Amino acid sequence: MIRQLPWSAAPSFSRISGIAALGFAFLIVMGNVIVVPAGLPRTGAAIGHVTAFFGAQSGPVGLGSALTPAAWVLATLFGAGAVAALRRSEQERGEAWSLLGFAGVLLQNAAFAVVIAIRLAIASTTSDDTSATLGLWALHDAVFTLNGTFLALALVGLSVGGRRAGLIRSWHGTLGLLSAGLLFASATLAPLVIDGTGPLGLLGLVGWLLWVVWIAAYGITLIRLDSARPEPQAEKLPNEPQ
């Protein structure tokens, strides 16, 4: 008599992490769909616009913020799955690109937690207290822009690691490096981006859009790895004939 191993029917970790990547991409897009049409101020916006928005749109701010804890969990699952898929071949070459990428994922989670916390703090601040709002929004813009550094780390590490391991295709790796370049440029030029004048804000926006496409494509790649997983071995019961 043959008994299946307890978790033999469970999806592989690569499939779970791939689904997590798609879920993360969906949640961050939905978060922006909620707050941007509601009038979320752009980087460098006048304080009057900021106080008016957060005073009147606390509902969309709260709803958009409610999506982010799940997004951070999913991003971490994705990063761990990418590391699991890449580490064996990297260890053979003495490399650690995937660990660099995973560090970027964790750091961007932490940085964006600060961004969301500041938004919630402003939403709970009275509209009369413009000095507090001004300071919080300036910090928000700085952390939001500098977060491009950590996204760039994630993109470079997992793009280079994925290409060297043969996990992702050339266009996918190129897309990741292009996105990383735009986001890093935005972070480097943070004082000018925060100033809000000129088209420099488009660097981060285009880089972010490419990041969403990149992580969704990575998720599909990790899901497809599941088809190459060997069939689970059945466990023979004691005293069972061979």
Q: Is residue 238 part of a domain?
A: no
Query: In sequence order, what E strands does 36-156 have?
Result: none
3 within a domain of the structure (yes/no): no
Question: Does residue 236 fall inside a structural domain?
Answer: no
pLDDT digits over 70-114, tens only?
Answer: 999 999 999 999 999 999 999 999 999 999 999 999 999 999 999
For residue 44, what pLDDT is reported?
80
Q: What is the DSSP string of 113-156?
A: HHHHHHHHHHHTS-TT-HHHHHHHHHHHHHHHHHHHHHHHHHHH
Name the 3-class secondary structure at 40: coil
User: Do the beta carbons of residue 191 and residue 138 sit within 8 Å?
Assistant: no
Say yes or no to pLDDT of 231 above 80: no
Give pLDDT, residue 234.
Answer: 43
Identify the domain containing residue 119 by its residue range: 10-228
Domain assignment of residue 1, yes or no: no
Q: Quick check: is 193 in a domain?
A: yes
Q: How many domains does the chain have?
A: 1
Residue 128 clears pLDDT 80, i.e. is over it? no
Tell me which H or E stretch contains 51. helix 47-56
- Looking at residue 226, its pLDDT comes to 66
Residue at 241 is within a domain: no
| Dihedral sign from CA coordinates of 98, 219, 75, 107 | positive
Confirm whether 160 is domain-assigned.
yes
Backbone torsion region of residue 239, taken as left when φ is above 0, otherwise alpha when ψ lies between -120 and 50, otherwise beta: left
233 within some domain: no
What mean pLDDT, rounded, does the chain reach?
A: 87
pLDDT tens profile 16-52: 999 999 999 999 999 999 998 888 888 888 888 888 8
Q: Which two tokens stand for residue 71?
A: 């997004």
Q: Judge if pTM exceeds 0.75.
A: yes
pLDDT score at 127: 62
